[in-house]
Amino acid sequence: MTALTRARPVAYLVPALLAVGLTVYGPLLAVAVLSLFDFNLTTRPPEWTGLGNYREIFATPGAGQAFWNTVGYMVAITPLSVLAPLTAAVVVWRLGGRLVAFYRTVFFLPVLVPPAVGAVMWEWILNPVLGITDEPLGLLGIGPVDWLTDRVPAFAAVTVVSGWKVFGLSFILFTAGLTTIDADVMDAARLDRAGEWRLLRHIVLPLLRPMTTVVVFATVVFAGPWTFGVIDVLTQGGPAGGTSNVYYLLYQQAFSFFSGGPAAALSVLITVGFGAVVALQLRATR
Amino acid sequence: MRRVTRAAAHLMLMLVAAAVAFPVLWAVVTSVKPTAVLYDANPFAAAPTLDHYRGALEALPVVRVVLNTAIMSAAVAVGQVAIATLAAYGLTRYRLRGRRVAFAVLIGTALVPQQALVVPHYLMVSRLGLLDSFAGLVLPQLASSALAVFILRQQMAAFPDELIEAATLAGASDRLILFRIVVPNLRPILTAVAIIVFIQTWNEYLWPLLATDGVSRATVQVGLRIFETEQGTAWGPLMAAAVLVAAPLVVAYAFVQRRVTDAFIRSGLG
Amino acid sequence: MRSYRTTVPGTVLVVGLVVAACGSDAGNDGSSAAGEQITIAFESYNYGTDGVGGEGTQQLIDAFEAEHPNIRIDPTGTPAGEIHSSVHAQAAAGDPPDVAQIGWSKFGFVQENLPYVPFEQVAPAGELQAHLDGMYPAAAELGRHDGELAGMAYSVSTPTMFVNADLFAQAGLDAQSPPTTWAEVRDAARAIVDTGAQGVYVDAAGEAKSDFLTQSLINSNGGRLLGDDGSLQLDQSPAVGALSMLGDLSVDGLQPPVGEAEAIAMFEAGRLGMLVSSTALLGGLAASTDGVFDLETAGLPAFDGHDVAPTVSGAGLFVFSDDEAEQQAAWEFVQFLTSARGFTILASEIGYLPLRPALIDDPEYLGDFFAEDDRLLPTVEQLDSLRPYQVLPGESGQQALELMQDQAVAPIMLSGADPEPTLATVAEQMRELLEP
């Protein structure tokens, strides 16, 4: 779309800026100020501590591991949150036919399942004693796995369960993105007798790029919150902090920021840290 | 596409569908299993029963919480899509000084951890006297529209110039272009965004828990917690209740996703 | 009234330090002269839940309202894990509930952050002591902080051993004389494992509330979590011995290395012989195992050469009213909930402990109930040896507690970590957190 220079565009932005100012940045500013205090908002007046809360967060046992796990989840979940849904969306779109509605509904099912219930269903599937995963894994030559009490399997389990929910979300975004591809472009390409792969590489993927950027952004930003709910039900951050991430750490620190300054400090750090990552990412993909 | 390729593709998709649907199907199966065989891996260990559904309906005012959640989620979805559409249009249509900053400010909201905002939101809503009201439930959730703004800006930036130029030449005002040309053409995207916002709001737990008081405004996620008690979790009724509250969503989605599908059947690609 | 326009930006500002500094200013709705109708807001984690917890709580409220027609109870249900935060948010907004049921595991948080009113100020002079007389002393003292009674012992449970009598019979054991020591538990578990089922699971490694079991085990092995001077004793021999026992069970294949929720699922499925957990689970397990297997109970097993010394989990009642008439009404309500009648309903309907020993044989109260269902009795018998639950003090107490559970108890119990060095490391980290 061509950008104009005339007229007054500000009116279009006012509702959005007002909303984020009042309900996100205003409170965030308050949190940032409070992160310099020792406070609880109830039984005692706030007391200035400078950067004490930040020092405390960095000294928290497990903070380093939670940070690296956060990065780890971002990377590990990408195949399930970007590649698989992209492939599935394109294949369903190219196939067409009567099964399209079926696939669209089934792939979206996990998103519709209440989060607490979805994680619980997986908890049963992963229970080593009920042993539902034993037989399928046995076929692959893998012995029984203690999913939730061994570090690596537990990390994998949290990733897969989170990915299971996210898959459908990304799928519907890619599907929506595909609908905006102009029929004429495809027809013209077909008249050129372009093969399926060339069509995909030179037309479909480039046209899907705006949506792909969105999905990658969503993965980076939301991998933390998405995994949080799963961690809470499946592992509570264990074994020994092996599946924790910064959001779970924040939850443990205080659950709600005003249980203490360190949680406020961590909130500020998460915001600023992700801000830096996203800024770099946007610069790279522009 | 060749026949063999098509068959292989369907096979692959079916496998994915089976894997994705398995936990969901199992929840449904569990909801009709008698308590005595709840943990039996064999789904046909005993004749199915509707006892859990009876128990769930007795314990949870299902219609009430589904309606509450639907009202809240619809209000948030409509509100967010409206705000985001206007903002995305403002950001792409005008070469505005500071528009990069404005964009960063809008999508930056996604970076702030929700846990940090819940309590300030509680204090605000309580000062406004809006606790335990739909307005109080909805207002703080309107601004978490980063994803919606981002998606719509991306799509509007890729919007074909010719259409807009033609309209401009015909003397259409900006507002007219937005509502008569951009919005109708982006309908599949707008629908998808609305669906996603709706579902995310539907699944929200912490804020509805704090902002409501008792069942009159309770939402689905809060309501389901009544089966996880200090005396243990009532799995059967929990699964039954989960199926009951998810069913209307699944049906609604099955209908709505046609809008996305129809859009490209019309465009001749289906 | 202020207009909306000035309220919004104003709100944003006050969210910060202003609110923090000015404290509570929201008025309580409805002033109350004596004799007038008065409403008490009651926040509870049992209220409104499915099953016995919700039903029992409703019964308590109904009975109280029938007895006190001028006091109306306005109940709210909030899950146990969130109730302290919910009360905190309301207190920060200046309008906490009048009475709240908050878990003992959050007592440290309550002391630091919630504006509770000690019962010495709530109850008219003399009435408090009279009310506490007749309760188990260890229970009555649970809620004492800085010499004042902050919380009243209410929905309290203690460790018990649930036994699958069917698996016992299959293994040639008698569920009517269950193991009473850990050595006997090992033998029984071995016999059960030999039949192909799982032996025993000690629910000590859960994140949130299981630390009361950790404490109970350390106490029962002749130690304490905190010494008289408040020093942490997690790395001393009673604790090392208690946790080694837990680890050995898993290493020897007698205990499945799974999380709390999975273990409970296994027990409900009839695949686990013994589950050592809280008596709070009794009501739920009785319902879910009905028709699956025969459920029996036993007391917490003892370590050889020591008496059992369990502590408690569960919750106390805390009062937050600042208005005198409301405090008076809140006191009436708390008194009723923890009276002979209150504990009768709590024990017989929900399965919490009757904290007044006189009720147990009294046919007017629980006599008939226990004659019919004796599954709560083994733990009632161990109430005489009850030890107070120890709260890890200070702002970081809760963090230290979770560190103990996540980094010491769970790895030793489930992942084969070596108890002595693990406890030494974690105790050192905890001491740093607990330093004032």
DSSP string for chain B:
--HHHHHHHHHHHHHHHHHHHHHHHHHHHHHTS-GGGTT-S-TTSS----HHHHHHHHHS-HHHHHHHHHHHHHHHHHHHHHHHHHHHHHHHHB--TTHHHHHHHHHGGGGS-HHHHHHHHHHHHHHTT-TTSHHHHHGGGTT--HHHHHHHHHHHHTS-HHHHHHHHHTT--HHHHIIIIIHHHTHHHHHHHHHHHHHHHHT--HHHHHH--STTS--HHHHHGGGEETTEE-HHHHHHHHHHHHHHHHHHHHHHHHHHHHHHHHTT--
Contacting A residues, span 8-27, partner chain C, CB-CB under 8 Å: 22, 26-27
Residue B12 exposure: Cα atoms within 13 Å on the Cβ side: 14
- Which strand (E) or helix (H) includes residue C40? strand C38-44
Q: Is the pLDDT of residue C424 over 90?
A: yes
Q: What is the mean pLDDT of chain A?
A: 82
pLDDT of residue C44: 96
Is the CB of residue B172 less than 8 Å away from at least one CB of chain A? no
**Rounded Cα–Cα distance for residues B60 and B63 (Å):** 9
Is the CB of residue A93 less than 8 Å away from at least one CB of chain B? yes
**A71–chain C nearest CA distance, Å:** 22
Grouping H, G, I as helix, E, B as strand and the rest as coil, residue C424 is helix
pLDDT of residue C26: 40
pTM (two decimals): 0.86
Q: Which of C369, B209, C349 is nearest to A256 (CA)?
A: B209
Taking residue B81's Cβ as centre, other Cβ atoms within 10 Å add up to: 20
Per-residue model confidence as pLDDT tens digits over C289-302: 888 899 999 999 99
Rounded mean pLDDT of C403-429? 92
Is residue C254 within 8 A of residue C190, CB to CB? The reply is: yes
| Low-confidence winner among B157-161, C32-36, C343-347, C410-414 (lowest mean pLDDT) | C32-36
Rounded mean pLDDT of C205-218? 86
Contacts of A259 in chain C (CB under 8 A): 85, 88, 109, 113
Rounded mean pLDDT of A172-196? 76
Is the CB of residue B44 less than 8 Å away from at least one CB of chain A? no
Taking residue C120's Cβ as centre, other Cβ atoms within 10 Å add up to: 13
The residue ranking higher by pLDDT, A129 or C262, is C262
**Rounded Cα–Cα distance for residues A84 and A87 (Å):** 5
What is the DSSP-derived secondary structure letter of residue A229?
H
Q: Which amino acid is at C354?
A: P
Listed in sequence order, the residues at least 6 apart from A78 whose beta carbon sits closer than 8 Å to its beta carbon are A216, A219
Give me the total of CB pairs closer than 8 Å, taking one residue from chain A and one from chain B: 297
Give which of C28, C84, C279, C288 to mutate to test B binding, by max B Cβ within 10 Å.
C288
B164, with CB counted inside 10 A (0-12, 13-18, 19+), is buried
Q: Which amino acid is at C128?
A: L
Give me the total of CB pairs closer than 8 Å, taking one residue from chain A and one from chain C: 115
pLDDT of residue B259: 65
List domains and CATH numbers for chain A: 62-243 (1.10.3720.10)
Q: List the single residue in A with minimal CA-CA distance to B141.
A: A23
Listed in sequence order, the residues at least 6 apart from B114 whose beta carbon sits closer than 8 Å to its beta carbon are A225, B144, B206, B207
Q: Is the pLDDT of residue B195 over 80?
A: yes
Rounded mean pLDDT of B80-99? 87
| Low-confidence winner among A140-149, B1-10, C108-117, C190-199 (lowest mean pLDDT) | A140-149
C-alpha to C-alpha distances, B201 to A160, B72, B135, nearest whole angstrom: 23, 8, 14
Percent over 90 (pLDDT), chain A = 19
Peptide bond into A239 cis (omega under 30): yes
Rounded mean pLDDT of A259-282? 83
- Residues A221, A225, A231, A233: is their CA dihedral positive or negative? negative
pLDDT of residue A146: 74
pLDDT band at B261 (very low <50, low <70, confident <90, very high): low
**Rounded Cα–Cα distance for residues C21 and A67 (Å):** 34
Contacting B residues, span 1-40, partner chain A, CB-CB under 8 Å: 1, 6, 9-10, 12-13, 16-17, 20-24, 26-27, 39
Whether C17 and A236 lie within 8 Å, measured CB to CB:
no
Q: List the single residue in B with minimal CA-CA distance to C6.
A: B128
Is residue C218 within 8 A of residue C239, CB to CB? The reply is: yes
Percent over 90 (pLDDT), chain B = 26
Is the CB of residue C179 less than 8 Å away from at least one CB of chain A? no
Number of helices and strands (H, E) in chain C? 21, 11
- Rounded to a whole number of angstroms, the CA Rg of chain A reads 23
Q: Is the pLDDT of residue B254 over 80?
A: yes
Is the CB of residue B229 less than 8 Å away from at least one CB of chain C? yes
Rounded mean pLDDT of C68-76? 95
Contacts of C410 in chain A (CB under 8 A): 238-240
Joined tokens for residue C309: 């010394």
Contacts of C271 in chain A (CB under 8 A): 129
pLDDT band at C1 (very low <50, low <70, confident <90, very high): very low
Q: Is the pLDDT of residue B180 over 50?
A: yes
Per-residue model confidence as pLDDT tens digits over A144-170: 777 777 788 889 999 999 999 889 889
Q: Is the pLDDT of residue C99 over 60?
A: yes
- Which strand (E) or helix (H) includes residue C71? strand C71-77
pLDDT band at A2 (very low <50, low <70, confident <90, very high): low
Rounded mean pLDDT of A17-22? 91
| Low-confidence winner among A124-138, C137-151, C306-320 (lowest mean pLDDT) | A124-138
Rounded mean pLDDT of A97-108? 87
Q: List the single residue in A with minimal CA-CA distance to B248.
A: A112
Write the Ramachandran bin of C294: left for phi over 0, alpha for psi from -120 to 50, otherwise beta.
beta
Q: List the single residue in B with minimal CA-CA distance to C18.
A: B123
Contacts of B219 in chain A (CB under 8 A): none
Q: What is the mean pLDDT of chain B?
A: 85
Is the CB of residue C59 less than 8 Å away from at least one CB of chain A? no
Percent over 70 (pLDDT), chain C = 91
Contacts of A46 in chain C (CB under 8 A): 17, 20-21
Listed in sequence order, the residues at least 6 apart from C315 whose beta carbon sits closer than 8 Å to its beta carbon are C45, C80, C101, C102, C103, C104, C154, C155, C156
Contacts of B232 in chain C (CB under 8 A): 264, 268, 281, 283-285, 288
pLDDT of residue C82: 84
**Rounded Cα–Cα distance for residues B60 and B66 (Å):** 10
DSSP string for C295-345:
EEEE-PPBPTTS------EEEEEEE---SHHHHHHHHHHHHHHTSHHHHHH
Whether A45 and C415 lie within 8 Å, measured CB to CB:
no
Q: What are phi and psi of C157, to 5 degrees?
A: -130, 170
H-state helical runs in A21-83: 26-34, 52-59, 63-78
Contacts of B209 in chain C (CB under 8 A): 78-79, 82, 86
Whether A149 and C258 lie within 8 Å, measured CB to CB:
yes
Joined tokens for residue C396: 């970081």
pLDDT band at C16 (very low <50, low <70, confident <90, very high): very low
**Rounded Cα–Cα distance for residues C48 and C59 (Å):** 11
Contacting A residues, span 255-274, partner chain B, CB-CB under 8 Å: 255-258, 263-264, 267, 270-271, 274
Whether A27 and B23 lie within 8 Å, measured CB to CB:
no
Is residue A129 within 8 A of residue A149, CB to CB? The reply is: no
pLDDT of residue B170: 86
Beta bridge partners of A38: A47
Selecting from B82, B117, B253 the residue whose C-beta is nearest the C-beta of A105 gives B253
Selecting from B209, B227, B231 the residue whose C-beta is nearest the C-beta of C82 gives B209
Q: Is the pLDDT of residue C320 over 90?
A: yes
Per-residue model confidence as pLDDT tens digits over C329-378: 999 999 999 999 999 999 999 989 999 999 999 999 999 999 988 888 88
Taking residue A213's Cβ as centre, other Cβ atoms within 10 Å add up to: 17
Domain boundaries, chain B: 63-266
Selecting from C12, C51, C290 the residue whose C-beta is nearest the C-beta of B234 gives C51
Give which of A28, A41, A259 to mutate to test C binding, by max C Cβ within 10 Å.
A41
Q: Which chains touch B (3 or more CB pairs under 8 A)?
A: A, C
Per-residue model confidence as pLDDT tens digits over C104-117: 888 888 988 899 99
Q: List the single residue in C with minimal CA-CA distance to B123.
A: C93
**Rounded Cα–Cα distance for residues C327 and C363 (Å):** 33
Rounded mean pLDDT of A20-40? 89
**Rounded Cα–Cα distance for residues C312 and C215 (Å):** 9
Beta bridge partners of C77: C44
The angle at the Cα of B229, spanning C286 to A149, to the nearest 5 degrees, equals 90
Contacting C residues, span 219-278, partner chain A, CB-CB under 8 Å: 256-259, 261-262, 265-266, 269, 271
| Low-confidence winner among A143-152, A158-167, C64-73, C276-285 (lowest mean pLDDT) | A143-152
Q: Is the pLDDT of residue A1 over 70?
A: no
- Which strand (E) or helix (H) includes residue C42? strand C38-44
Selecting from C52, C75, C270 the residue whose C-beta is nearest the C-beta of B231 gives C52
Is the CB of residue A22 less than 8 Å away from at least one CB of chain B? yes
Rounded mean pLDDT of A86-98? 88
Rounded mean pLDDT of A40-52? 86
Selecting from C12, C92, C259 the residue whose C-beta is nearest the C-beta of A22 gives C12
What's the first-to-final CA gap in chain C, in angstroms? 45
Per-residue model confidence as pLDDT tens digits over C38-58: 999 999 999 989 888 999 999
pLDDT of residue C425: 95
pLDDT band at C187 (very low <50, low <70, confident <90, very high): very high
pLDDT band at C9 (very low <50, low <70, confident <90, very high): very low
Q: What is the mean pLDDT of chain C?
A: 88
Is the CB of residue B122 less than 8 Å away from at least one CB of chain C? yes
Q: Which amino acid is at A158?
A: V
**Rounded Cα–Cα distance for residues C268 and B36 (Å):** 9
Whether A42 and C19 lie within 8 Å, measured CB to CB:
no
Selecting from C4, C79, C280 the residue whose C-beta is nearest the C-beta of B225 gives C79
List domains and CATH numbers for chain C: 36-157+313-385 (3.40.190.10), 159-311+392-434 (3.40.190.10)
Whether C82 and A255 lie within 8 Å, measured CB to CB:
yes
pLDDT band at C400 (very low <50, low <70, confident <90, very high): confident
Task: Decide yes or no: CATH 1.10.3720.10 for domain B63-266.
Answer: yes
**Rounded Cα–Cα distance for residues B246 and B72 (Å):** 16
pLDDT band at B260 (very low <50, low <70, confident <90, very high): low
Tokens 């607990």 correspond to what residue? C434
The residue ranking higher by pLDDT, B238 or C302, is C302
Q: Is the pLDDT of residue A256 over 70?
A: no
Percent over 90 (pLDDT), chain C = 63
